[in-house]
Amino acid sequence: MNADEPINYQYAMSDPESDKWLEAMNTKIQCMRENKVSDLVDLPPNSKTVRSKWVFKKKTDMNVRLDTFKARLVAKGFTQTLGVDYDEAFSPVSMIKSIGILLSIVACYDYEIW
């Protein structure tokens, strides 16, 4: 972590560049809404909410000049207990064979990947 990056929300809001951090957070929230990354549901009995925290990062361009302010909202999943707070986990992983097939098709038809 860079020394001039805030370590939490309170530091970001007291930073002289707080307006840029706030804009980065609003951009992230808007992106999450547009992509419908979550659903609002009622909390089941005897369970607790998973807390979250903001992670802040300053991104630089190839010439090491400040390019963008990034904010990520991450869940504190380590606070959950299997069988109590959740029953299953989902982690999408691509098989290397699938990637090879995709690249073969791209090369065969002279497609572009972006």
Domain count along the chain:
1
Return mean pLDDT, the chain.
88
Task: Give the range of the structural domain holding residue 28, as residue numbers without chain letter.
Answer: 9-109
- Residue 104, in any domain of the structure: yes
Question: Tens digit of pLDDT for each residue in 81-105?
Answer: 777 767 777 777 888 999 999 999 9
Q: CA-to-CA distance for 17 and 78, rounded, in angstroms?
A: 31
Instruction: With respect to residue 93, please indicate whether it lies within any of the assigned structural domains.
Output: yes
Checking if the pLDDT of 1 tops 60, the result is no
Cβ atoms of residues 21 and 54 within 8 Å: no
Cα separation, 55 vs 74, whole angstroms: 7
Residue 114 resides in a domain: no
- Tokens of residue 50, six digits: 């998973």
pLDDT at 101: 94
Encoded tokens for 113: 């990947």
pTM over 0.85: no
Residue 13 inside a domain? The answer is yes
| Residue 70 contacts residue 25 (beta carbons within 8 Å) | no
Residue 31's pLDDT band (boundaries 50, 70, 90)? very high
Q: Is residue 2 included in any domain, yes or no?
A: no
Residue 39 lies in a domain: yes
Residue 37 lies in a domain: yes
Residue 76 inside a domain? The answer is: yes
